[in-house]
A and B are shown apart, each in its own frame.
Chain A
């Protein structure tokens, strides 16, 4: 019963899986944040002009990928992309699928943060002769960024957890590795050690996610107290109102 000879090979497998998990997580967080911020800013374009169809399309994108379960998005990307002439590896399909979901959530966060900046700021900058692009870049976004950070950290936690879904489209990440381990020892030795193996995976994710959750909570409380926690100086006229960034309806 005290045979521990299985531990070392299991850890070796887990390490290679963990590496894959980290790669997918980093890539999809980076892609989500980058494309989410770009699309989210476009979503804030003044309405009623040439850009109405753009807004319309962006809103459909937002509703569809926030509404679909992440797993279904992954399946759709993975199984439908070959018919569209794209040969994606399961890893890149996972990164793309997670980023579609992540970026639509970031878009919502950006929109919420931009809307939480008093319109007077916008009007004052326009009155001073700034163009829309300059207003965004110089006035609105520097203030909104501080408000985006806590929800984006929360989303990062959700994305890290969602990387496990990649195992269901055949990516050999940490969860898939642990299942292989359990299966192997179940068949070869009659005891799969399921409890310590899956327990280990749970601990692995907890150790990554818990500090981030705590950090997000701190940043949120800091922002609510009117202090800027992101190292950015709040502008003098910024009211210390609570951050009204919409909660992300995620497919965690």
Chain B
């Protein structure tokens, strides 16, 4: 009985650790997603600004 309760507690702790870990890993992935979105926005702004201030230069817009 005592051993069962001990195992039960151990399993609950193990499950909690597992769930926390999965959540943690999913959070890590989402943080990367957010960082990518921010980086892309910054890069696009830089491209637009450069094209705005130096429209005569060859730049990425000429590609399209």
Q: Do A and B bind each other?
A: no
Q: Which residues of B contact A (CB under 8 A)?
A: none
Q: Which residues of A contact B (CB under 8 A)?
A: none
